[in-house]
Amino acid sequence: DADVTQTPRNRITKTGKRIMLECSQTKGHDRMYWYRQDPGLGLRLIYYSFDVKDINKGEISDGYSVSRQAQAKFSLSLESAIPNQTALYFCATSDRQNSNQPQHFGDGTRLSIL
Amino acid sequence: GQNIDQPTEMTATEGAIVQINCTYQTSGFNGLFWYQQHAGEAPTFLSYNVLDGLEEKGRFSSFLSRSKGYSYLLLKELQMKDSASYLCAVRDRQYGGATNKLIFGTGTLLAVQP
């Protein structure tokens, strides 16, 4: 089983719809991140969380919100989806105790907004 | 601000050696990561450098010069499965030295030809 699981893997929806992307991890890491990846732009940080009660904006948080329901779960919401939010979304985790260790990524959610 | 530059694309021959360069500008450098990403898949960790010099891991090596803001990833004995994007990511102390937030380059797409 994957250590970092994202659901759904693919989603096609219409402009204006509310969408939630879910991420769960079994690695026991306290830090979780949401990124989006667009061709030619690389990975960009949307939100990150260092603990259950900790939420921080990344470089492109407008139009998104997150919820850290438990240490193992971090969900990303698009309240009213728009076409330029079409992208590949990744969740990642890392361990505070080993700050030199890399972030571990889920398999991604391919989101298309029509 | 932060800036990370990598070549967009490279081509190499199976069995050969290829060097992928990364230059960066950050206000508080605190480590550099290399990731491999196959098309449509999650980035996977390859190497980490925080001190100057060469880190070797089997066919893959990574070099860092902090004074020059420069790193490279060296891939030896290239195999067809090495065809992928290679992402350079820098941790910047501006965001808090122990937070493990990363700034990603746009990636270098490597094509290995027979």
Would you call A39 an interface residue with chain B, using a CB distance cutoff of 8 Å? no
Phi, psi of B82, deg, nearest 5: -80, -5
pLDDT tens string B63-87: 999 999 999 999 999 999 999 999 9
Q: Give the nearest partner residue to A41 out of B44, B102, B106, using CB atoms.
A: B106
The residue among B33, B94, B101, B108 with the most chain A CBs within 10 A of its CB, best to mutate, is: B101
% of residues, chain A, pLDDT over 90: 78
pLDDT tens string A31-87: 999 999 998 888 999 999 988 989 999 989 999 999 998 999 999 999 999 999 999
Strands B3-5 and A31-38: unpaired
For residue B21, pLDDT beyond 70: yes
Contact list in A for residue B31 (CB cut-off 8 A) is 100
Element (H, E) at B65: strand B60-65
pLDDT of the residue at B27? 79
Q: Decide if B105 and A42 are in contact by the 8 Å CB cutoff.
A: yes
